[in-house]
Structure 1
């Protein structure tokens, strides 16, 4: 899975959450100066990402997500998902 896959899933999730995404791209901030996600919306997005990719976010991560761009967020999720996949492979 690539950061582009995560970005596409994230944009689709934002649409489903009723956010305007027509001008959303890698440089769009997730927080108030971009996609305008408040803390509840960031938490919901994190939950959707956790369910889809098997990654986890703690409370400190949620605060950090709001100041990331969509591209940074997608890259971070892709990196975490790769680590989860490697750990799962090592357990087998």
Structure 2
């Protein structure tokens, strides 16, 4: 499941005009990695929520910026409702 989430994330980041050329599971979303701003993180969170049926609290946005791709994928995978997994 994390592979599917990662693929979706990278596709979304490309659509949002972020460079993912050297990205891997250790790349962070914040300034040290993709440098996704707060608006971009909010958009990414909404896309992931819509696609995988998960929910992020408003106060989680800041912690998302500090996560690596791998951490984010694992977090999403743990939240996916088993009955409606894609």
Do they superpose with TM above 0.5? yes
Q: Structure 1, residues 12-54: CA drift from partner, whole Å, max 9, x if none?
A: 0000000001111100001111011010000000000000000
Give the TM-score taking structure 1 as reference length. 0.87
TM-score normalised by structure 2 residue count:
0.92
Provide the rounded CA distance (Å) in 2 between the counterparts of 1:52 and 1:9.
Answer: 9
Q: Which runs of 4+ in 1 moved over 2 A?
A: none
Matched, 1:41 2:26: no
The count of corresponding residues between Structure 1 and Structure 2 is 84
**Aligned CA-pair RMSD:** 1.0
Larger radius of gyration: 1
- Unaligned runs of at least 5 residues, structure 2: none
2:29 paired residue number: 30
- 1:85 aligned residue: 82
> Which residue number in structure 1 is paired with residue 51 of structure 2?
52
